[in-house]
A = this chain, B = another copy of it.
Amino acid sequence: MSHPRAGGAPVTMQDVARAAGVSVMTVSNVVNRRPGVRAETRERVLEAVGRLGYGVNLAARSLRQGRTNLIGLAVPEIDVPYFGLLAGLLVRRAAEHGYEVVVEQTGATREEELAALVSSRVRRYDGLVLSAVQLSDADSDLLHGDMPVVVLGERRYDRPVDHVTMANVEGSRDAVAHLIARGCRRVAVLGVSSTGPVDASSQRTQGYREALTAAGLPLDPALERPAAYTLEGGRQAVHRLLDEGVAVDGVFAHTDLLALGAVRGLADRGLRVPDDVRVVGFDDVPWAAHAVPSLTTVDPGHDEMVEATLRLLLGRIAGRRGRDEHERVVARHRLVERESTA
C-alpha cells in the first residue's frame, strides 16, 4: 500500500521529526523549502515524509500565519458562460500566485451578494472578487470591512472601492455604429432595465443611444426593449418586438446570451441573420465564435480584467494600498466582427 497510515490518525510534523531524528522546526524548514538545512538532513526528512505519507495541515498553517491562500469568487451563477469564462481565467491566474479560488454562487440577488460579504463563510478568504450585478452604491459601504475586495465588471461605483470594469458605453457605441455602418436604420436594443442610472445595462443603452444620435438617427422608445439576461429572455424579447409589428433591421443585445437568444427568436419567426436582421452582442463568450451564424460582439478585454483584478487584490492583501486609496481599471475593449453582421 502506497499510503501508510491511511485511515489512522493523520501524520504530523511531530511524527516526521521523530522518524527522522530531527526537530519539528527542521521538518518545517524542509517542507517549506527554506534555506539553511544541510543536504543530508534534508534527505533524511524527505525520506520520512515520503515513508509516512506526511502532508501539511493547512488549517494549522492558516491559523498560525493568519492567511489562507484562498480567494473567493462571488458570481451570480457559475454556469452562465460569461462567469464560467471568468472563473476559468481567474483560477488559472490565481494558481500562478499560489492562490486557490472558492466559488460562491450569489444567485444574482442583492440579498445573496450581501450575504457573501457578511457571511462567516467569507471570513476564510484572504480576499474576495465580487462580480456584482445587483449591489447598489449604498451597499458598497459594506465593502469596507476587513476583507480585501475587488469588484469586477458590470457596474461603476461612485463609492470608493477597488473596481475593474469594462468600457460599457464605448463598446456599445462601437457595436451599434458598426450596425449602422452595415446599413441598419432600425436598430433595437435588448436588455434595457430601469434599476438605476449607473449600471451596465444603462451604460450599454447609453452607448446605443449615442451611436444612433451620432449617426443622425432618431431614438424610438419602441426599439428599446427590456429583457432578462438569458437566452430565453432574448428570444422572447424578439418575439414580442415582432409581434408588435415594430420594424427592425438590426439588434444590439446587452449580452451574447441575449444576442444568441435573439437569433433564435428571429429564426422562430422566419427571419435570417444577417440577411434580414443583423445582430451584435456583448461579452465575446467562447460560444460567440462558433454559433451559427457566428456572432459579432464586443470583447470587453477579459484577460486584462482578470489580470488587473488579481493585481489589485493581491496588492491590497499585501497591504500595499491604504484603506482609502482605491483604484479603478477600465479594460480596453475591441469589436469582433463576425457573420451575424456580415
Binding site for B on A (CB under 8 A): 1-3, 5-7, 10, 53, 55-60, 62-63, 66, 68, 70, 77-81, 84-85, 87-88, 91-92, 95, 100-105, 120-121, 123-124, 141-142, 144-146, 231-232, 235, 260-261, 263-264, 267, 286-287, 289-293, 323
Contact = CB atoms under 8 A, between A and B. Distances in A.
A80 B87 CA distance: 11
A174 to B, nearest CB: 25
A103 B120 contact: no
Contacts of A120: 55-56, 58
Given A91-B105, A101-B102, 18 more contacts: A1-B144, A3-B142, A6-B323, A56-B120, A58-B121, A58-B123, A59-B63, A78-B84, A78-B87, A87-B87, A92-B105, A95-B105, A100-B104, A100-B121, A231-B287, A235-B290, A264-B290, A267-B293
Contact of A59 (B1, B3, B68): B68
B81 A103 contact: no
Contacts of A2: 141-142, 144
A103 B123 contact: no
A139 B188 CA distance: 55
Q: Which are the 9 A-B pairs with shortest beta-carbon distances?
A: A59-B62, A79-B88, A84-B84, A231-B290, A59-B63, A58-B124, A79-B84, A3-B145, A55-B123
Most chain B C-beta atoms within 10 Å of own C-beta, residue among A10, A141, A286, A323: A286
Contact of A102 (B5, B100, B121): B100
A259 to B, nearest CB: 12
Nearest to A287: B287
A3 B146 contact: yes
Nearest to A145: B3
A292 B261 CA distance: 9
A168 to B, nearest CB: 22
A87 B79 contact: yes
A272 B216 CA distance: 40
A125 to B, nearest CB: 10
Nearest to A322: B7
22 contacts: A2-B142, A3-B144, A3-B145, A6-B146, A7-B323, A10-B146, A53-B145, A55-B123, A56-B123, A58-B120, A58-B121, A59-B63, A63-B63, A79-B81, A80-B84, A87-B103, A100-B102, A102-B102, A231-B286, A263-B292, A291-B291, A291-B292
